[in-house]
């Protein structure tokens, strides 16, 4: 049994934090109330991907209709993911046609149990990421000068607290231009949130389970808050890894920089 420490937070001119012990099973029950579930990962962590698959299996076993949205694939290759799930092409061909190795590069065996389970159960996989070519254009011209169908008509800017997090992340890289770094992050967060909003509209009776890097869902910022701005208040759950800890948050409105609960645990 994995033991978690639940942190109940209330933001009222400051953050009041209360602690109680809980288990992963309780977190899974909370997740069942969510319309969108984000499983934030450290990309090369086997533990992260085992936890993701456990959550996906739980939701399916409970009878929920599930869709996966994966940052690991870029949206222009959607047809190949559809063909893979439908059994038209095999795994090797799917990896080749989606240019997974060139565009994502992490060992496909980290994710293979997840997409194999999806194929086995007929769970549709949506490519979540925006094209690398679009990111290059944004770096060169600035996000304010680029229009694309992969981005929402209006770019939702970052909050002050999220900018602090991004600057800390930027310090890990050498000789990084802050404007370009922020523009790329804005493109990722807005583009993936826009994709999720469209998936939600097209599949109102499904839960959307999102596999994405932890930085895009840190404290509910990044993608979840932008989904709130695009579709209004909707129950969203965020489970993400940071170093050797796992955090959980649940909210109907991450855009207000508050959440009903967060938790952390040491992965086993």
- Residue 95 clears pLDDT 50, i.e. is over it: yes
The helix (H) or strand (E) run that includes residue 242 is strand 236-242
The helix (H) or strand (E) run that includes residue 29 is helix 24-31
Helices and strands per DSSP (H, E), number in the chain? 10, 9
Q: Which domains does the chain have, with CATH numbers?
A: 3-132+190-265 (3.40.50.11550)
The helix (H) or strand (E) run that includes residue 201 is helix 178-202
Cβ-count burial 55-94 (b if 16+ within 10 Å, e if not): bbebbbeeebebbbbbbbbbbbbbebbbebbeeebeeeeb
3-class state of residue 50 by DSSP: helix
The pLDDT score that the predictor gives to residue 225 is 94
Arithmetic mean of pLDDT, 147-164: 92
pLDDT in tens, 164-212: 888 888 887 778 899 999 999 999 999 999 999 999 999 999 999 999 9
- Residue 266 clears pLDDT 80, i.e. is over it: no
**Sign of the CA dihedral 171, 151, 101, 87?**
positive
101 DSSP assignment: H
The pLDDT score that the predictor gives to residue 5 is 42
Arithmetic mean of pLDDT, 90-95: 98
Query: Comparing C-alpha atoms, which of 198, 199, 191 is closest to residue 152?
Result: 191
Q: Which of 15-24, 68-77, 136-145, 206-215 bottoms out in mean pLDDT, i.e. has the lowest?
A: 15-24
The answer to whether 191 and 151 are in contact (CB under 8 A) is yes
- Residue 264 clears pLDDT 50, i.e. is over it: yes
The pLDDT score that the predictor gives to residue 247 is 85
The pLDDT score that the predictor gives to residue 202 is 98
């Amino acid at each position: 049994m994995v033991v978690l420490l639940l942190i109940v937070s209330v933001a009222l001119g400051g953050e009041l934090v209360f602690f109680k012990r809980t288990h992963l099973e309780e977190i899974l029950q909370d997740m069942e109330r969510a319309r969108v579930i984000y499983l934030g990962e450290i990309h090369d962590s086997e533990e992260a991907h085992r936890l993701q698959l456990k959550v996906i299996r739980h939701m399916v076993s409970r009878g929920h209709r599930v869709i996966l949205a994966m940052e690991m694939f870029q949206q222009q290759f959607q047809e190949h993911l559809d063909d893979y799930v439908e059994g038209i092409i095999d795994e090797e061909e799917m990896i080749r046609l989606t240019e997974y190795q060139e565009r994502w590069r992490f060992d496909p065996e980290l994710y293979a149990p997840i997409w194999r389970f999806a194929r086995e159960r007929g769970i549709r996989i949506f490519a979540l990421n925006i094209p690398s070519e679009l990111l290059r254009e944004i770096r060169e011209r600035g996000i304010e000068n680029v229009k694309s169908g992969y981005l929402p008509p209006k770019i939702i800017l970052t909050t002050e607290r999220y900018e602090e997090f991004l600057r800390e992340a930027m310090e890990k890289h050498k000789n990084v231009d802050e404007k370009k770094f922020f523009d790329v992050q804005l493109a990722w967060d807005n583009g993936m949130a826009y994709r999720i909003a469209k998936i939600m509209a097209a599949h109102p009776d499904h839960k959307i389970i999102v596999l994405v890097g932890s930085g895009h869902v840190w404290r509910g910022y990044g993608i979840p808050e932008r989904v709130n701005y695009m579709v209004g208040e909707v129950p969203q759950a965020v489970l993400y890894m940071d170093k050797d800890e796992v955090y959980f948050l649940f909210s109907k409105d991450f855009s207000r920089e508050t959440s009903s609960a967060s938790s952390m645990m040491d992965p086993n």
